[in-house]
Structure 1
Amino acid sequence: MFEARFQQVDTLCQRLEALTNQLTDAIEKLPNKTAASPQDSVTTQLEQASQNIRSLVGPLDSESVMSRTEIATSALSDPGCAHSQDLQLYRPGANEQSSGEETDDELAEDTVQLNPKYDPTLGIFGSLVPDSYGRLRFIGGASNELLVQAIQSLTPASSTISESPSFCTPGQTGPTPMERRVSIEIPLFVHGLQWRELPHLPKPEELNLPPRYVADMLVGLYFNQFHYTFPVLYKPHFMEQYRQLYIVRKETEWDRNFLSVFFAVCACASSLVASDGNNSTFPGLEYYERALLVHYSTTGQATMERAQCLALISMCCSGWNTLSLSWHFAGQAVKAAQDLGMHLGRLAPVSGHSMNDTGVSPLEAEISRRIWWSIYGLDRVTSICLGRPMAINDCDCCCDLPMPVADEGLEAACNQATPFDDGLPATSPLSGFLAFAQLCQISGKVHSLQSPTRIASLNTPRGQKRMMALGKKLEKMLDMWLNGLPDEIRFSANNLDHSPDLTMCIILFVVHAGSLLDLYRTFTNRKHSFSQSQTLKNCLSAARSCINATELVRDFVPPSHYMAFSVHYLTISGLALVWMKDQSLGKRDPDVEKCVRFLKNLEGTCSGASRGRAIIEQTLDIFAGNRQGSFLETQLSGASHIHTPDLLNLDPSDADFNNFWGTF
């Protein structure tokens, strides 16, 4: 094994050495010009690239190398990254830092651009390069940009992209010395070196498709209930491939990538079908398993369908209340999308050709944006529910929001010279999703406030001041987002027509109230410029808003990560009203009773609802018992103290408490 690794390293070194020699030869053959010309800048760039590559293989000059301490210091002080101020290393005694005035740079890190636009004039360290399968993948970083520029200089500007992953076009008449050289490849990928199929996996043709009438029902349910709340698919393309799937004979090899997406769609839609009374398995489990089997058969590849399949599987797991597994699949979907460069807008391929030259049409770019923002929201929701780290760092992303256009009119809109020449559409089934994507950006910032490093900063006066400023800023951003909601979303609850606007309206108000609850809960035990008593009142107000927003969840929100989030924060809101109010007054809160009733109504849809209801009811019983014994009267008399009930008295053997999150 070690010999094989050494051989790979040796091969890599030889390729880098050959690349250096070729670049040096190219520079030497370039004519020297005394007058300024466009080629002077090219020559200068090539000479600079040659010097940088020589520095990789030559000895390092100790006098020209910045020390690690200097690099770390400069990185921490750089305000260009959204989280640069959080990259502080832990040091003993760090809490003794002196307080200082708040700077604009420290607050700017949590600014959210609700409608991000890609600026093509800004340089981005990132390119799409062919992999060993001949498909484009993303590589980034300032150092890798040097490698990309070197390969660009060795590729004729007039060449066209061939089917092979090399960057030179062979076979042209009268080739130049540069064109006669061996094709240059990215050292990270070896053309033709592909993964073998995993043993013991069934062939896709061996997996039975559901009967056509069942498939039609499931596909119809999916696009009717899920699609515009989670536009990870482009319906016209999906339906065209779906029709071909049942036309092609079984002896013909099926498209594995689409097949994995199809089974994932069936798994999601199965949760909408009435149960046959068998509660021992999850609805659609057989389709979920087939989707995974086909997905694993494409190991090593980077395709749009892999990202779609993982996202759909994650949503399916959320609908089953297996949130931990859903979070894992959401993270994998993020990596699959980033592998294709979906997190960056309008990437140029390494060969220097335009997007259209590489087959990336405006329609495909728009579909990519829809996939990315669907996965973005999925990552945010699952991470916030579990209180776990998010897979997407906003500092790494530069992607426009999708167009507010329905699937049926998307291709025509993309083909316009200037989209929306006649103005934006008055209404769009995608409006709610776009508002949700904007809200997720703010909710992610609120979630980041609870990171260990930021909570630890509350031990210093400067950290306290900074955290309170960030909290107020996020509160203002949530208010601005709410005031900017389109009327068709804000008032859609007045018309119970099962439209995507109504579904997203419910989801948006639940997520907004949950974000406020998280924000205020972070500061309820802190006596700072955020008045502690006012923060407590705001926290209770947010909890009541969340409870009222969930009234229609059962009838209008499909089983998905949205349902899991709603049930989770409905439970949290009820507990907030129980724990954070003075229960010694002996009055039952009507909103708590409403919360228990809503959870009971949701028990047939989400398994977590029954467990959440049981926790609230047993907590109320404990408070009632403690109130009769006058045990908590003195402890709960002060509004500045928040105590929890005696959770040790909860009965863990109760069936309602088994497997609270449904995780395995």
Structure 2
Amino acid sequence: MDSNNEVEPPKATILVDLGGVFVHPPEDYTLTTSESTVTLGRVLSSSIWMEYEMGKITEQECFTQVADLYGFQVKDLEAVVSDLRESLTYDQQMLSVFHAIKRRTTAVEIILVTNISEPEYRALRNRWDEDFWRTFDGVYASWMIGLRKPSLRFYRHVVRSTRSLPQRTFVIDDRPENVLAALSLGLRGTVNTDAGVVFRELLNFIEDPVKRGLTFLRQNAGKLHSTTQEGDSIEENYAQLLVLEALQDWSLVDLRRPPCLWNFFSGKPKYTSQTYPDDMDTTALALVAIDYKPEIAHQILDKMLGNVNEDGLAQVYFDKSRPRVDAIIALNVLVALHKYGRGYELPETLDWVHHILLNRAYIYGTRYYASPEWFLYYASRLLLHSKDPSLEEKLGALLRARLVERTGVDGDAFCLAMRLLACNSLGIRNHLDRERLASMQQEDGGWEPSAMYVFPTDKKTVGNRGTTTALAVKALQDAIKCDGEDPCHNCQSREQICEFQDSNDNASTSRRYAASFEERCQHMDNLCERLEGLAKTLSDCIATAQRSTSIQSSGAASISNSIPPARHEEQTALPHSDPVIDIPDIGEVPDRSPGFGLGAVSESSGNMQGHDTQTYPTPVDAVGHMVADSYGRLRYIGGATNKMMIEAVQNLSPGGASKPIRSIDKNNEISLPFFIQGQVWPELPYLPQPQDLARPPQYVSDLLVGIYFDQLHYTFPILYKPDFMRRYHLMNAGARTSAKRDTAVGRGFLSVFFAVCACASSLLPRAPGSSSLPGIEYYQKALLLHFASSGEVFLEQVQCLGLLALCSAGWNTLSQSWRFAGQAVRLAQDLGLHVSSLKGLSIDTPSPTEYVEAQVARCTWWSVFTLDCLMSICLGRPMATDEADCCCDLPFDISNEDLEHGIPPAPSINSHLSSTSSPMTGFLALTRLCRIAARVHRFYSSNRIRGRDSTLSDDWTHLLPTLDGFVRELDEWLQKLPNEIRFSANLTQSGPNLTMCVIVFILHSGTIMNLYRFVLPCLNLRYASPTNHIYGWIQTPCSPLLPNYNVPFVSPPHPLPNPCKPLCRMHQRRPQLHPGRRTDPRASPAVTLPGLLRAISHHIRYLAPQHDGGREITGLASGRKECIDVPG
């Protein structure tokens, strides 16, 4: 871009009213009626006059109707109006305000907007000189457009016609209802009609307050003296040190550095003793504002630490005869100590400061500082200069809460500046106080002196225009965001380098000049040109499809034959399938909140794992593509219509029809309508940042992480342990070596870490009376970090939600777990994990990295699938996915550690006959069973079952083939169940296999009950014969699962298998228990564990004498409240 071609600032538009601003008609005009008098104002407020002002009726019609309405003579009204037309003049002083505005800048348009009829407007136009009318760049009168204020359509018409931005439009009107209507549309405005106030507000609107403030400071450099409320000047150092700290500009202040300690006064002391001692407050401020050599600074700090009272609190003066303590001065001393790494030497003072902040003791100020903002501002300085991460944990969240409480509270300019500086330092957006502070700027660019501190003996309040202006400039400067253009107008006007070139903050009023109508029109023109080509390409595609269809013998048959068959878990993906996801080497991925980088696109990553990392669409299957979103991450888009659109857009690229997709030039990248490149979601303003969330001490986190991977990991292996541990150690190393704890960890991984801690906390021993939700604090932090990633999609979100679902299930809050599992499934589908097998592995021997990529995708998908399946079956609710939509192979039967060491996974064929097993064996068995259980659950929830007429008794028999198919699948699963799982209850050592045995056994029994519960009441005794296949299955549903279960040993932590055998046999006798009873299958809820226990209790007398497990059932049923506690 040409450096001489400066970017013009956004045009400002001023809409000014005529009546009440330029014209002040007399209020003593009255019209005499037969009974009383009517004021002219009442006549002008009538609906008839409003119609007249909009040009809907003529002057004569208006006068006649108004006279009839109020009962006066038409000629009287004509005389009054004629007199006003001849006598009204405009306000010369107000007009000079707008002349001055025009002289100061050319980037402003002044528009006259008024409610006036055409005859009155013509009369004024002819009488008033051109000096008045030349001031305005346009006139919008009500009679011209047929609308009048305060109609919203009036303001929309004006803004549209003038091509103005609402946030850069200012309204001046004497009527509040008119200003309110304008403000509701995003305009700014005032009801003040005083010429001086209007001029000041317009200056603050059209000009940069920071630039004007700096100009004022430079014009008064070296003369920024403090004054009392009576105007008496005081020569002192403290106010100038505040200016120096805020702006770091020595040319603005007149300071002489003493050899060691500082004194408040730089000249003769006033309003105190003739001899004024050096003080801790000024000395501490100087240590922070000025860069001292370390050896000198520590000498001064040693003297300050020697000036502490018996309570361990820093005193005010270096004078033993003045033993005073002030909270704000003590806090300022802490700031200096923490800047040089010695804050730990005043623990009593820090504890006092913490209690002041906690109990809001600062609210009434102190002896020397009357405003509570002093304390909050100095507390923010303490966090800013401290290198101690524990201090952020102790004060950070509390200080943010206290600042939010003060937002919007009345205060002078100095108070607002300190409050805004504190908010900026802690990342709190305070738009309200920023606008109020900017509006207080005076015409010369400075701010009025505000009450800073007090001389308590003589009750003198001291202020300083320079200090107030410096802090206000700094506060507004830090709050302003760049507008996103190059060069940025906001930064260029202040002669600074852009600090936020990639910012996309919608709060900035001058952001994105491309929002102007001219650029929008140009964008629309370009879009229309591209759409023309797109339409032609679509037409060609349709014509080609029609020609190819006509060649086929049967159109319908050809379409059916062209649809590929459904793929199942055992099928191998095509070797030439395009990749659905690209997972970079885990050890090389920097954590920048998106975390693992599943499907991510990085400019610097190059060719990852041999797969392209293009941002243009990548075909996945016959109707699916991976498309880059606005963050550059790949997301799955399916559907035949979308496929046609993507192919058409790709053909529009240069050589698109002749080149393969992978050879498309990155410079000719095609934008797609699914996502707007570069447009990202704004961060939620009230959620904490990752560094604001305190992590547990390392010994606690080590314990929790160890428990999770020892006891929970392979039950639902949603994480890849080697990658998690690498990033976990990196997080701990960053916390030990870095001043900011968030440098080594991002939002995505941190949410997973807190979710792991929440899951593991449930396994820790609990003291009596402790919370029923162990780990709730980690659960909440993980949830906050997940919510903070709105608009983004990455792998850690899936993992976090899956772990939170597992944690919620552990608390027995099953509805919450069901919701989390469903959300995790949706995010996994967004990333394309449900079709990850279409990516395929290399034709030759796949690399270890490819195995890791495939294993991560498969484990993540099937973990959330099984969680969703279990929760849906337990609650009798729909699942979030259908297995028919999935094309994802089961994970490899190999541990994370072996896979990380490069050991290739063994073939999965006949894994149940293998002599060795891995920790993944149980999860694979559970996943296979979940797939069958999900189909049974969906079959039962289908309309043909849900809508059956309860009066029909025998029509269920036509469903027997379907039921028989499910029976064969369950039988096949049972036969292939690995022995390590099947016989785990008979082993002397418990482990993950026993846990999986319990889980799959309960799910297997529940699946059988779900399969037959709607036909059991309809079974007659004639079906209960040894030759009936269905009845035979019911008689022996699960007995092979635990063939040697009579061995009297069960691991103590797993008491469920003892009652499991009689529990699953409970429904063997159910058709014979109540052969004549019928129930409506639509009224039966899904099988849940509490329902199972209630059924056991109901049939306990029948079951106990006939089964050796009767006593176990009795104990389980009687103790069900201890076993299960499902909230409301």
Q: With structure 2 as the length reference, what TM-score do the two structures score?
A: 0.40
Which whole-Å CA distance do the structure 1 matches of 2:1120 and 2:632 have between them? Answer: 49
Structure 1 position 530, deviation (Å): 9.4
- How far did 1:498 drift? 2.8
The aligned amino acid for 2:640 is A
Deviations 1:290-316 (A, max 9, x none): 000111111111111000000000010
User: Quick one: percent identity of the two aligned structures?
Assistant: 37
Q: 2:1116, 2:715 → 1: CA distance?
A: 22
Question: Shift in Å at residue 392 of structure 1?
Answer: 1.3
Counterpart of 1:576 in structure 2 is 1095
C-alpha distance in 1 between matches for 2:921 and 2:722: 20
Q: How does 1:133-144 map to 2 (within 5 A)?
A: 133-144=631-642
Which residue number in structure 2 is paired with residue 448 of structure 1?
938
2:778 to 274, 287, 292: 287
| Residues 6-17 of structure 1 aligned to structure 2 (within 5 Å) | 15=527
* Equivalent residues of 1:513, 1:545 under 8 A apart: no
CA distance in 2, matches of 1:569, 1:507: 13
**CA-CA distance at 1:468 after TM superposition:** 1.9
Greater helix content: 1
| Preserved contact between residue 514 and residue 542 of structure 1 (Cα < 8 Å) | no
Alignment of 1:389-468 (within 5 A): 389-412=878-901, 426-456=916-946, 458-459=948-949, 464-468=956-960
- Name the larger-Rg structure: 2
Deviation at 1:607, TM superposition (A): 4.0
Match of 2:832 in 1: 341
**Hey, what's the Cα distance between the residues in 1 that align with 2:946 and 2:523?**
48
Say whether 1:130 aligns with 2:628: yes
Distance 1:603 1:457 in 2: 35
Q: Secondary structure at the match of 1:402?
A: coil
Amino acid at match of 1:576: A
Q: Which is worse superposed, 373-382 or 183-192?
A: 183-192
Q: Distance in 2 between matches of 1:444 and 1:366?
A: 23
Structure 1 equivalent of residue 1009 of structure 2: 517
Q: Which residue of 1 aligns with 2:1113?
A: 595
Q: 1:129 to 1:574 in 2, by over 3 A?
A: same
CA distance in 2, matches of 1:326, 1:531: 40
How far off its partner does 1:247 sit?
A: 1.4
Measured on the aligned residues, the alpha-carbon RMSD in Å equals: 4.8
Q: Residues 47-58 of structure 1 correspond to what in structure 2 (within 5 A)?
A: 49-52=538-541
Deviations 1:543-578 (A, max 9, x none): 9999989996971499xxxxxx99x85544443345
Residue 497 of structure 1: CA displacement? 2.1
Q: 1:11–1:401: structure 2 CA closer, same or farther, 3 Å change rule?
A: farther
Counting only pairs closer than 5 Å after superposition, residues 523-562 of structure 1 correspond to structure 2 as 523-527=1015-1019, 531=1023, 555-556=1053-1054
Q: Deviations over 1:173-224 (max 9, x none)?
A: xxxxxxxx5x312211111111111121011101000010110110000001
Aligned residue in 2 for 1:484:
976
Aligned length: 511
1:217-237 per-position Cα deviation (integer Å, ceiling 9, x unaligned) = 100000011111110000000
Deviations 1:421-445 (CA, angstroms, capped at 9, x unpaired)? 9x98831111111111100011112
CA distance in 1, matches of 2:636, 2:679: 18
Find the counterpart in structure 2 of residue 498 from structure 1.
Answer: 990
Contact 1:471 1:519 in 2 (8 A): yes
* Paired amino acid for 2:823: Q
Counterpart amino acid of 2:879? M
Mean Cα displacement is larger for which, 440-449 or 460-469?
460-469
Name structure 2 gaps, 5 residues minimum: 1-151, 161-514, 545-549, 578-620, 1057-1062, 1065-1086
Correspondence for 1:636: none
Quick one: distance in 1 between partners of 2:520 and 2:814?
Answer: 40
* Letter matched to residue 506 of structure 1: V
Residue 514 of structure 1 and its aligned partner are, at CA, apart by: 1.5
User: What SS does structure 1 have at the residue aligned with 2:834?
Assistant: coil
Q: Write the letter of the residue equivalent to 2:709.
A: F
2:1023 counterpart letter in structure 1: S
Partners of 1:269 and 1:431 in 2: CA distance: 22
Counterpart Cα distance in 2 of 1:512 and 1:189: 44
After TM superposition, give the deviation of residue 136 of structure 1 in Å. 0.8
Tell me the equivalent position of 1:259: 750
Equivalent residue for 2:705? 219
Q: 1:554 to 1:135 in 2, by over 3 A?
A: farther
Q: 1:297 to 1:574 in 2, by over 3 A?
A: closer
For the residue of structure 2 that corresponds to 1:480, the secondary structure is helix
CA contact (8 A) 1:267 1:287 kept: yes
Aligned equivalents of 1:378 and 1:311: distance in 2?
8
- C-alpha distance in structure 1 between counterparts of 2:902 and 2:710, whole Å: 23
Query: C-alpha distance in 1, partners of 2:826/2:1003?
Result: 25
> In the alignment, what sits opposite 2:676?
190
Work out which of the residue numbers 800, 823, 831 in structure 2 matches 1:332: 823
- Structure 1 residues 317 and 437 mapped into 2: Cα distance closer, same or farther (>3 Å)? same
Corresponding residue for 1:208?
694
2:717 matched to 1:231? Answer: yes
Q: For residues 291 and 344 of structure 1, do their structure 2 counterparts lie closer, same or farther at Cα, with a shift above 3 Å needed? A: same
Aligned AA (1:488)? E
For 1:507 and 1:12, the matched residues in 2 are separated by: 59
Q: 1:129 to 1:113 in 2, by over 3 A?
A: closer
Take 1:425 and 1:449, find their aligned partners in 2: how far apart are those partners? 36
Q: By how many angstroms is 1:168 displaced?
A: 3.7
Structure 1: runs of 5 or more not aligned: 25-46, 56-63, 65-69, 83-111, 162-166, 171-180, 559-564, 609-660
Contact preservation (8 Å) 1:128, 1:347 = no
- TM-score when normalising by structure 1: 0.66
Q: What amino acid is the match of 2:683?
A: E
Shift of 1:512: 1.0
Whether the aligned pair in 1 keeps the contact of 2:874 and 2:1089 (CA below 8 Å) is no
Distance 2:684 2:788 in 1: 6
Q: CA deviation at 1:496?
A: 3.7
Q: 2:864: which partner in 1?
A: 375
Q: Distance in 1 between matches of 2:819 and 2:636?
A: 22
User: Distance in 2 between the 1:12 and 1:307 partners?
Assistant: 38
Letter in 1 for 2:889: D
Q: Partners in 1 of 2:860 and 2:1121 — Cα distance?
A: 31
Aligned residue for 1:228, secondary structure, equals: coil
**Which of 654, 657, 666 in structure 2 is aligned with 1:169?**
666
Q: Is the Cα contact below 8 Å between 1:257 and 1:305 reproduced in 2?
A: yes
Partner of 1:626: none
SS at match of 1:197: coil
Give the drift of 1:508.
Answer: 1.4
1:414–1:453: structure 2 CA closer, same or farther, 3 Å change rule? farther
1:518 shift after superposition = 1.6
Q: Which has the higher contact order (CA 8 A, sep 6+)?
A: 1
User: CA contact under 8 A between 1:264 and 1:313: conserved in structure 2?
Assistant: yes
CA distance in 1: counterparts of 2:525 and 2:641, whole angstroms:
17
Deviation digits for residues 441-498 of structure 1 (CA, Å, limit 9, x no counterpart): 1111221232151215655899634422211221221111101111222122221423
Deviation at 1:501, TM superposition (A): 1.7
SS class of match (1:497): coil
Report the AA paired with residue 169 of structure 1: K
- Pair 541,577 (structure 1): closer, same or farther in 2 beyond 3 Å: farther
Instruction: Assess, with a 3 A threshold, how the Cα gap between structure 1 residues 151 and 21 changes in structure 2: closer, same or farther.
Output: closer
Tell me the CA shift for residue 413 of structure 1.
5.1
Residues 261, 412 of structure 1: CA spacing in aligned structure 2 closer, same or farther, 3 A cutoff? same
- Tell me if the contact between 2:1100 and 2:1114 (Cα under 8 Å) persists in the aligned partners: no
Check the 8 A contact 1:205/1:250 in 2, yes or no. no
Letter in 2 for 1:342: L
Q: Secondary structure at the match of 1:229?
A: coil
Q: Where does residue 662 of structure 1 map in the other structure?
A: 1127
Q: Contact conserved, 1:118 with 1:399, CA < 8 A, in 2?
A: no
1:22 to 1:289, Cα distance in 2 relative to 1, 3 A: same
> How much has 1:130 moved relative to structure 2?
0.8
User: Structure 1 residues 123-132 or 525-534, which shifts more?
Assistant: 525-534
1:369 deviates by 0.4
Secondary structure, counterpart of 2:1017 in structure 1: coil
Q: Equivalent residue of 1:137, what SS? A: strand
